[in-house]
């Protein structure tokens, strides 16, 4: 079997295991991506040559997929963990490819997922600083695995063929309650302000619930953080959502 046909088989298997989309990127390219600039070098396992990027559709009608709280992060992340764990024995035992399932957070051993998704040819970074995919727009959650597999010679990125923000009135920028795009570009600090507010609201809700039940404190599993998705949901790209 050629490397190209093996890659196609792996991507087909990922989708059969529950991923909405999947793509493969070169580890070296991911380590050199824009998000890594000025940050400590990521330490990845010896033998890791490719990043398998798994995407899960996150339609507006299923907001709970991205609610943080409890073990394993969000329900969407737990679904993606299940996809990765289903792939793991097949890759190792039947294909003979060593693999590593990565955590979501970079500071816990993960990779920059948005960069990896773009480098895997699954989307482009839009004006809202999110990965925009042709079919689902930005309404996709991501996870990554590392493979001891030679990456493809080249990945056909979408940048030359797919320019979702060209000619767009940028409703994503208007939707941002923190005006993170007020200066014409995304300002992470403003977005993080909203994230802290979302977390504080969740903490207050959990504390109130604990008091109502006669508890002395709010337990972590009761604390569900519903992060803002205003810019994501305002994006008009992606006609086949759901």
pLDDT digits 0-9 by tens, 196-213: 999 999 888 877 765 655
Question: What are the φ and ψ backbone dihedral angles of 100, each rounded to 5 degrees?
Answer: -140, 125
**Residue 123 contacts residue 22 (beta carbons within 8 Å):** no
The residues spanned by each domain of the chain are 3-147
Q: Per-residue pLDDT tens for 155-188?
A: 767 767 789 999 999 999 999 999 999 988 899 9
Model's pTM, two decimal places?
Answer: 0.90
User: Each residue of 114-156: pLDDT tens digit?
Assistant: 999 999 999 999 999 999 999 999 999 999 999 999 988 777 6
Question: Is 52 in contact with 146 (CB distance < 8 Å)?
Answer: yes
Provide the percentage of residues in the chain whose pLDDT is more than 90.
72
* pLDDT, tens digit (0-9, with 9 covering 90-100), for 64-86: 999 987 666 899 999 999 999 99
Distance CA 168, CA 224 (A): 34
Distance CA(225)–CA(212), nearest Å, equals 19
């Amino acid at each position: 079997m050629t490397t190209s046909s093996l890659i196609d088989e792996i991507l087909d298997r990922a989708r059969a295991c529950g991923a909405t989309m999947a793509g493969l990127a070169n580890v070296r390219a991911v380590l050199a991506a824009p998000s890594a600039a000025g940050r400590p070098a990521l330490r990845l396992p010896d033998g890791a040559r490719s990043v398998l990027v798994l995407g899960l559709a996150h339609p507006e009608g299923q907001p709970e997929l991205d609610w943080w709280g409890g073990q394993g992060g969000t329900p969407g992340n737990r679904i993606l963990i299940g996809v990765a764990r289903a792939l793991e024995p097949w890759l190792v035992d039947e294909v003979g490819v060593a693999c590593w399932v990565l955590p979501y957070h970079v500071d816990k051993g993960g990779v920059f997922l948005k960069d990896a998704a773009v480098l895997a040819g699954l989307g482009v970074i839009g004006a809202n600083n999110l990965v925009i995919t042709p079919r689902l727009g930005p309404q996709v959650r991501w996870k990554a695995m590392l493979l001891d597999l030679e990456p493809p010679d080249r990945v056909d990125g979408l940048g030359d063929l797919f320019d979702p923000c060209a000619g767009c009135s940028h409703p994503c920028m208007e939707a941002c309650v923190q005006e993170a795009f007020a200066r014409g570009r995304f300002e992470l600090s403003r977005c993080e302000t909203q994230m802290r507010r979302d977390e504080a609201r969740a903490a207050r809700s959990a504390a109130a619930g604990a008091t109502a039940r006669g508890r002395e404190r709010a337990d972590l599993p009761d604390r569900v953080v519903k992060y803002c998705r205003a810019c994501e949901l305002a994006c008009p790209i992606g006609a086949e959502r759901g």
